[in-house]
């Protein structure tokens, strides 16, 4: 369960303010986050992941209050529990595809690489259709291939929460469907919680719930 309560956030020097009285997202559910550009969707994902700290209020994931964790504990939480697909991918330009996928293991020793992980990587790279691109560097990949690589990296440590910021934004209709189906299947099989920012309203019927920043229905979800 993800629980936000009495949360207030603003960026220093910006007029933007986010206020959420109560927002609960059940474990194992799939949620779409929609709303116009600049309404705060990415900010919400960053608050859940502990990348941003609220000005007041709390962000709880299971029994953990993310805001109360030390910097190190928060880093470990992010690596172990959260798979984040960033809108701008955040691939490392001097690492090839495989090393980009393995990044969570390289930057944090709280998770261990083992034989099972190698099989898992082959499996997700195959499902994403990029198994023959793992030796390539980001500048050698198309936009959609970079996106699929970023999704593989988000899944590699088998997170219990996936936060995906427009994960299908650069993909053709076929790849869009394949990738959303893969994320849904991962969530179902692992009882993982999927929170996806999307501008693709055709896909909304496939989610369990919707957080709509346009008409501020976030406290009703």
Ligand X SMILES: Nc1ncnc2c1ncn2[C@@H]1O[C@H](COP(=O)(O)OP(=O)(O)OP(=O)(O)O)[C@@H](O)[C@H]1O
Largest CA distance in the chain: 49
Interaction between residue 35 and ligand X (CB under 6 A): yes
Nearer to ligand X, 18 or 156 (CB): 18
Interaction between residue 178 and ligand X (CB under 6 A): no
Interaction between residue 37 and ligand X (CB under 6 A): yes
Which residues contact residue 117 at a Cβ distance below 8 angstroms, ignoring those fewer than 6 apart? 105, 156
Nearer to ligand X, 38 or 173 (CB): 38
Among 5, 6, 11, 220, binds ligand X (CB under 6 A): 11
Nearer to ligand X, 14 or 93 (CB): 14
Q: How many CA atoms lie within 13 Å of 73's alpha carbon, on the beta-carbon side? A: 7
**C-alpha span between 99 and 134 (Å, rounded):** 8
Nearer to ligand X, 11 or 201 (CB): 11
Interaction between residue 54 and ligand X (CB under 6 A): no
Return the structure tokens found at 25: 């997202």
Return the structure tokens found at 43: 């900010």
Interaction between residue 39 and ligand X (CB under 6 A): yes
With beta carbons less than 8 A apart as the criterion, state whether 45 and 84 touch: yes
Residues in contact with ligand X by the rule CB under 6 A: 11, 14, 16, 35, 37-43
């Amino acid at each position: 369960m993800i629980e936000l309560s009495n949360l207030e956030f603003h960026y220093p020097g910006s007029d933007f303010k986010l206020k959420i009285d109560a927002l609960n997202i059940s474990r194992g559910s799939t949620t779409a986050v929609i709303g116009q550009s600049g309404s705060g969707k990415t900010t919400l994902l960053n608050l859940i992941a502990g990348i941003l700290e609220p000005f007041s209020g709390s962000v709880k994931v299971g029994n953990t209050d993310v805001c109360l964790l030390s910097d190190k504990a928060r880093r470990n939480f992010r690596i172990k529990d959260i798979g984040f697909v960033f809108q701008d991918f955040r691939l490392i330009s001097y690492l090839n595809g495989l090393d980009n996928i393995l990044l969570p293991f390289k930057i944090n020793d709280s998770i261990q690489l083992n034989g099972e992980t190698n099989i898992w990587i082959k499996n997700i790279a195959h499902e994403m259709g990029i198994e023959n691109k793992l030796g390539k560097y980001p500048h050698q990949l198309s936009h959609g291939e970079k996106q699929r690589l970023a999704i593989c990296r988000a899944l590699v440590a088998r997170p219990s929460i996936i936060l995906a910021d427009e994960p299908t934004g650069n993909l053709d209709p076929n790849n869009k469907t394949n990738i959303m189906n893969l994320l849904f299947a991962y969530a179902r099989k692992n009882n993982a919680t999927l929170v996806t920012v999307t501008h693709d309203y055709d896909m909304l019927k496939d989610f369990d719930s919707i957080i709509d920043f346009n008409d501020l229905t976030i406290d009703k979800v």
